[in-house]
Structure 1
Amino acid sequence: MHSGVYKDPVTGAVGTPIFQTSTFLLDELSYAAFERGATRDVPIYSRYGNPSQWAVQEKVAALEGAQSAVVTSSGMSAIAGTVYALTNNGSHIITAYDVYGGTYNLMREDMPSAGREVSFVDATDLSAIAAAIRPETQLMFFESLTNPLLKAPPLREIAALARQHNVLLVVDNTLLSPVNLRPLDLGADVVLHSATKYLNGHSDLTAGVVAGSRKYADRIWAQILRFGGTLESFSCFLLERGMKTLVPRMCAHNKNATALARFLADHQKVRAVYHPSLADYPYRQLKDDVLDGYGGMVAFEVEGGDEDALKFLDRVRVPCAATSLGGVESLVSMPANTSHCSLTTSQRAAIGINGGLIRYSAGIENTEDLIADTARALDSL
């Protein structure tokens, strides 16, 4: 909560002020930074760095147990900047075929044209990952928990495999948050988030963060600088404010999603439920790795297929039918007509997205209210 807060020497403000400025007065420290090529930590120009950004970055580094962090203008800015910064022309990347859609498109469309080859694998199959490694492999990119089916790759084993082959491991930890999992502790080299989601938690900004060693953070910062993906000061203020309540919010998200999953598992109108707390969850190693819970996401299939799934979205009253996740309010959506609509029915089925699948991002509302609302909507189908 207190990490990174700027101590204002003039006013003594208990919160970080908003440094709403594009540029700063030059002095001897500024000129020395230019000479050394070390402009990241000196107030010169807000695209390079700003106390509002530094407050966020110190807080993120503390949460993830990292030496350093970089804040960006969106989750995709963090992902793209990281992948470009840590790979070269002629290199090879390994990632999962069911990563977030924006990441998948970056890997499939942009990386080949930038001279990077990409192999797509099942992130939960360690042997498939090992078989994909080549001499030119530089990077593995996986998610700590996938969207929407909540698959959990064996990160400890993947990290060991990456080290064995001198390959960097980057983990997108958006769906679990550092409250529930710290990938750097499991052996990852870099961890990143769409801070739009849990870290901010109020559905009122877009942002991204990356954390790791100072060496990697500096390389990623330089790439973000060239891409122009800097987060402006007011959004930094909102993000730092949001992170101050991350722990209590995640406790509520964890509790609500787990309670919903257990209720749904026993409902006659529900064909399947995907949540790590359930006894039939196949990725058992996650239970040993998590710290406090599994986040606010639960996915389930209704018996009536997509037609009944649409009716459910229309009949619930507490959650909003909207994309995104991680805000204080609950959200529901169907991957088939949102995040995975570009795939054919057979392509969706190949990665486990069947008809009637609903993604429920549990907010921090009263647990009993969420269950009662869900029960009423399901019973009406």
Structure 2
Amino acid sequence: MSQTIYGLNTICTHIGEIKDEQFKGAVSPIYMSTSYEFENVDVKRYPRYFNTPNQEFTSKKIAALEHAEAGMLFGSGMAAISTVFLAFLKHGDHIVVQNTLYGGTSNFIREEFPKYGIEFTFTDGYEVADFEAAIRPNTKLIHIETPSNPLLTITDIKAVVDLAKSKNLITTIDNTFASPVNQNPIDFGIDIVMHSATKYLGGHSDILAGAVACSDAHMKIIWNVAKNLGGSLSDLTVWLLERSMKTLALRVKAQNRNAKKLAKYLSNHDAVKQVYYPGLKSHPQYDLAKSQMKGFGGMMSFELADGLDAMAFQKELQLIKSSMSLAGVESTVLSPHKTSHSLLSQDERDAIGVSDNLIRFSVGIESNKDLIADLEQAINKVKNA
């Protein structure tokens, strides 16, 4: 089935499905075997080689959604990120990393790269000049994340790509917050796109997975390292991911609409100090976000006004869950300084603007009126405490 002639919802529904030739079922069969014949077969299948039937076909859906030649699934988003980095970086190499990104990625770089003799520089900001200033003679790769976690900063993808190409550098991006529905970095020239598939691709807060999409040439390099590191995942999880991705576009577009309405509500509230959402015209990079995103996403962050207790506020929520992770169909909030960025020091968090009063808000598909009512009652309780 050619992906080029189909729309987004059709790709989500049909690309990467396995035809049930025996019983003619409407959904992909699941192949749980960890042992396959090796003689007289077209493909020697082995789970750690990322080529079981469910892994192979679901990877096609990932590739189609990201406009890439190839896709690969991993046991987690960090398994995907760490494998890609180790595939293209060796002792003596240098990587330029955006300073505003997922805390787990930052922690992996700071803790593991020195063991391998890999040098790294976190940029001072997220403008293209910040990336250029960090490049060294031994730089091999530039890594970005846009929108970023948790402050929703926007990096100019095309500008970074142009800089990298002028220096013959590889570019990678964490596209988790945007999802393929809202942003396709490969269209702007990015070499390798990575996802925590636990988030929007899975979308139901019940699976753990990661994904990579890129060219066939880059994927061969990634696979050669991936098979040695062993970050593959169960075919039951792969089947659940393929099932979940059928509604990806529907879910994300509903979350986009809800998030924009809630961002406007919060930005006008006297109990809220600041809202970080690229879909607000007040966002300093609104025009840039609009130029490279098809939708502004379901993620935002906001800071409560001084004197209001962010943790007490979360405890008062009745519909919105105070919970780790993000991008499920249910709305959730958390404090980044206690979760996603807890591995960073206080000084490191302060440097990137992650305050103790910052709340990350993953907007779900509930009625926006119900979500607003829940936020309002929780704010009133902490104001009157």
1:177 aligns with 2:179: yes
Deviations 1:80-115 (A, max 9, x none): 000011222211101022321111111111112112
Which shifted more, 170-179 or 17-26? 17-26
**Helix, strand or coil: the match of 2:324?**
coil
Note closer, same or farther for the CA distance 1:300–1:180 as it changes in structure 2 (3 Å cut): same
Tell me the equivalent position of 1:289. 292
Deviations 1:208-255 (A, max 9, x none): 000000111121122111111111100000100111000000011111
CA distance in 2, matches of 1:63, 1:46: 23
Tell me the equivalent position of 2:17. 5
Tell me the equivalent position of 2:27. 15
Tell me the equivalent position of 2:322. 321
Which shifted more, 170-179 or 96-105? 96-105
CA distance in 1, matches of 2:35, 2:214: 27
**How many residues matched?**
368
CA contact (8 A) 1:93 1:119 kept: yes
**Equivalent runs, 1:292-371 vs 2, <5 Å:** 293-305=295-307, 308-371=309-372
- CA RMSD between the two structures: 1.4
TM-score with structure 2 setting the length? 0.93
Note closer, same or farther for the CA distance 1:43–1:317 as it changes in structure 2 (3 Å cut): farther
Structure 1 position 175, deviation (Å) = 0.2
Tell me the equivalent position of 1:240. 242
Q: Which structure 1 residue ranges, 4+ long, deviate > 4 Å from structure 2? A: none
TM-score with structure 1 setting the length? 0.94
Note closer, same or farther for the CA distance 1:165–1:109 as it changes in structure 2 (3 Å cut): same
CA contact (8 A) 2:104 2:341 kept: no
Structure 1 position 364, deviation (Å) = 0.9
1:156 aligns with 2:158: yes
Deviations 1:117-169 (A, max 9, x none): 00110452211211111221111111121111000111110000000000000
CA contact (8 A) 2:103 2:344 kept: no
CA distance in 2, matches of 1:23, 1:345: 48
Q: Which amino acid aligns with 1:55?
A: F
**Helix, strand or coil: the match of 1:69?**
strand
Structure 1 position 346, deviation (Å) = 4.0
CA contact (8 A) 1:96 1:123 kept: yes
**Helix, strand or coil: the match of 2:14?**
coil
Structure 1 position 15, deviation (Å) = 1.4
Q: Which amino acid aligns with 1:54?
A: E
2:169 to 167, 170, 176: 167
Tell me the equivalent position of 2:59. 57
**Equivalent runs, 1:1-381 vs 2, <5 Å:** 1-29=13-41, 42-48=43-49, 49-283=51-285, 284-291=287-294, 293-305=295-307, 308-380=309-381, 381=383
Deviations 1:319-371 (A, max 9, x none): 11111101111111111222223444443222112342111111111111111
CA distance in 1, matches of 2:99, 2:277: 20
Structure 1 position 9, deviation (Å) = 2.0
Which shifted more, 7-16 or 111-120? 7-16
Tell me the equivalent position of 1:38. none
CA distance in 2, matches of 1:23, 1:302: 54
CA distance in 2, matches of 1:331, 1:342: 21
**Helix, strand or coil: the match of 2:333?**
strand
Q: Which amino acid aligns with 1:135?
A: P
CA contact (8 A) 1:96 1:120 kept: yes
CA distance in 2, matches of 1:208, 1:343: 23
CA contact (8 A) 1:123 1:153 kept: no
